[in-house]
Amino acid sequence: MDYIPNTDVEREEMLRAIGASSIEDLFSDIPEDVKFNGRLNLPEAMSELEVKRHMTALAESNAEAEHYTYFIGGGIYDHYIPSAVSHITGRSEFYTAYTPYQPEVSQGTLQSIFEYQSMICELTGMDVSNASMYDGASAMAEAGLMAVKIRGKGRILVSKTVHPEYRRVLETYAAGMDIDIVEVDYKDGATDVEDLKAKLSEVDCLIVQNPNFFGCIEDVRMLSGLIHEAGGLFIAVVDPLSLGILKAPGDYGADIVCGDGQALGNPMNFGGPHLGFLATREQFVRSMPGRIVGQTIDNRGNTGYVLTMQTREQHIRREKATSNICSNQALCALAATVYLSLMGKKGLKEVGEQCLAKSHYLAGKLREAGFSLAFDKHFFKEFVIKLDGDVSSVIDRLLEKKIIAGIDLSRFYPELKGCMMIAVTEKRTKQEMDELVAGLEGLR
C-alpha cells in the first residue's frame, strides 16, 4: 500500500467532517489504564533514501531461496514458477479484487474460480471442488469436520505420518466440539496397519497423507479398503504435484481429498499466504465447506458463472452452516489455475518425474557416502537420512556455506533424534546436490 501523507490542515478537516475534536476522540472507548502512553520503540525519522538502504539491508540478511541452495520441505517447496503466473495474477482486475460479494458483476473472477475447481477435480479424480481455503492444514481439518457431519460418530482417526502441524490444527478445530481425535502410530515411515486395525471402531474417517510427511508412499488402496470396511470415510491429504505421476486419489477410493496448493505456482513467501484445496464425491457436496462456483446459461443463451453454493454462516443460520470460512485465498487459487494451465498434463508429469529422479539421485549419492536412510520405503521428493551428530548443528554449519539442508525431525518426533528430512525439487542441479553430499561428508 502506498504511503499517503496528510497535512495538519487535512487532518483537521477530516476530524471536523466526522464530528471529532482530536485524534484521541477516536479512541475514547478504550479505558485509560490499558492505553500505552509512553514513546514507541521506533527509530528516528529517516529520509526516503535512508529508509530504502535500511530495508535493503534487512532484506539481505534473510537466507532466501534465490541466493541459498534450498533442500528444506515439510509442506513448503521451492518449485519453479513460470514468469507468466505473476504477470497474470499481478493484473489489477485480479490483484486488487476482493471476494465477490456481488458475484453477478464479477464474471471474470467467477470464471477463474470455476476453472480452478475443474482442474482440481481432474487432478484429484473427484466430482466437485470448492473455491479454495486458507491452507492445507485448515482444508484437512475442515475435511475431518465434514466426515463427522456425514457419519455422525464424533471420532476421527489420523495417521502420525500426517504433517504434525496439520494434526495440531485438526485438534484445535475439534476442541470443544466433542470430537475425539485418535492418532494411529507409524512403522518404518508409514502408517502402522496393526495399530490402525485395533482402532477401527465407531469412526467417521481415517486421514492419511500421501506421500506422507516423511516423503514415503503409503499403501493407500489397502488403507482405503480398511476404513471403508469399518464404515468410515477415507480422507487423502496429497501433494498436488505428485499427482502428475501417482494415481489420483479418486482411483484408490478416497472420499475427500485435500492438501496445500503452494507448490502450484505460489512462492514460498516466508510461510504464507497458502492455498488449501478440498474436493469430494458428488454425494457429499451438501456437506462441503466453503463455496462452489457453477456455470450456467442465461435467458439469452449466454454462458454465465454463479456462486452456486455458499452454505456459510453469513448467508444461512449458524447451525446450518458447513463452515465459517469467509475468505478463500482467491489470488492464490488464480496462481494455481494459471500454473496448471501453463504446465498441462505433460508439464505436470515432467515436474513430477524430475522431482522423483533428482531426489533418488541425491539419496543414492548419500548412500555411497556412507549415510543411511531412516526408512526402507518408496518416496517421491522427500526422504529422511540418519546423521552421526546433532542435526541442528549440522544445519547451522551448512547454512554458513549457503546451503539450507533440511528439517531436524526431532522437533516433531523425539524418537527420530539424529534424523534429517531432505526435499529435492526440479530446481536442484546435480552440482548443488553433490555440494550437499560433500558438505555433509566434511562435517563428519
CATH number, domain of 101, equals: 3.40.640.10
Say if 3 falls within a structural domain. Answer: no
Same domain, 75 and 205: no
Say if 301 falls within a structural domain. Answer: yes
How high is the pLDDT of residue 314?
66
Listed residues 308, 339, 370: the one ending a domain? 339
Say if 2 falls within a structural domain. Answer: no
More confident residue, 323 or 365: 365
Say if 59 falls within a structural domain. Answer: no
How high is the pLDDT of residue 395?
96
> Does pLDDT of 55 surpass 60?
yes
Percent of the chain whose predicted confidence (pLDDT) is above 70: 96
> Does pLDDT of 101 surpass 80?
no
Task: Place 235 in a pLDDT band, splitting at 50, 70 and 90.
Answer: very high
- Rounded CA-CA distance 131/326 in Å is 11
- Rounded CA-CA distance 63/26 in Å is 41
> Does pLDDT of 327 surpass 70?
no
Same domain, 71 and 138: no
Residue 420 backbone phi and psi in degrees, to 5:
-125, 135
- Rounded CA-CA distance 245/356 in Å is 9
Same domain, 119 and 253: yes
Same domain, 98 and 70: no
Same domain, 274 and 413: no
Same domain, 236 and 327: yes
- Rounded CA-CA distance 164/150 in Å is 25
Instruction: Over range 105-126, report the average pLDDT.
Output: 94
Listed residues 313, 339, 365: the one ending a domain? 339
Say if 33 falls within a structural domain. Answer: yes
Identity (one letter) of the amino acid at 277? F
Same domain, 257 and 390: no
Rg (C-alpha) for the chain, rounded Å, is 25
Same domain, 357 and 291: no
Query: pLDDT by residue (tens digit) across 193-213?
Result: 999 999 999 999 999 999 999
Same domain, 274 and 133: yes
How high is the pLDDT of residue 102?
74
How high is the pLDDT of residue 2?
60
Query: pLDDT by residue (tens digit) across 381-408?
Result: 999 999 978 999 999 999 999 999 999 9
How high is the pLDDT of residue 330?
85
Say if 5 falls within a structural domain. Answer: no
How high is the pLDDT of residue 272?
82
> Does pLDDT of 218 surpass 70?
yes
- What's the CATH number where 354 sits? 3.90.1150.10
> Does pLDDT of 98 surpass 80?
no
Say if 1 falls within a structural domain. Answer: no
How high is the pLDDT of residue 43?
86
Query: pLDDT by residue (tens digit) across 270-323?
Result: 878 899 999 999 999 999 988 899 999 999 999 999 988 877 666 777 777 777
Identity (one letter) of the amino acid at 9? V
> Does pLDDT of 71 surpass 60?
yes
Same domain, 36 and 120: no
69-73, 101-105, 134-138, 412-416 — which is least confidently predicted?
101-105
Task: Place 326 in a pLDDT band, splitting at 50, 70 and 90.
Answer: low
Name the grid cell of 258.
485435500
Same domain, 93 and 197: yes
User: Which residue in 264, 262, 266, 256 sits closest to 289, CA to CA?
Assistant: 256
Q: What residues contact residue 82 under an 8 Å CB cut-off, 6+ apart? A: 265, 339, 342, 343
> Does pLDDT of 27 surpass 60?
yes
* Domain of residue 306, residue span: 83-339
How high is the pLDDT of residue 94?
86
Percent of the chain whose predicted confidence (pLDDT) is above 90: 80
Same domain, 44 and 179: no
pLDDT averaged over the chain?
Answer: 93
Q: How many domains does the chain have?
A: 3
Listed residues 291, 320, 339: the one ending a domain? 339
Instruction: Over range 80-92, report the average pLDDT.
Output: 95
Say if 4 falls within a structural domain. Answer: no
How high is the pLDDT of residue 275?
93
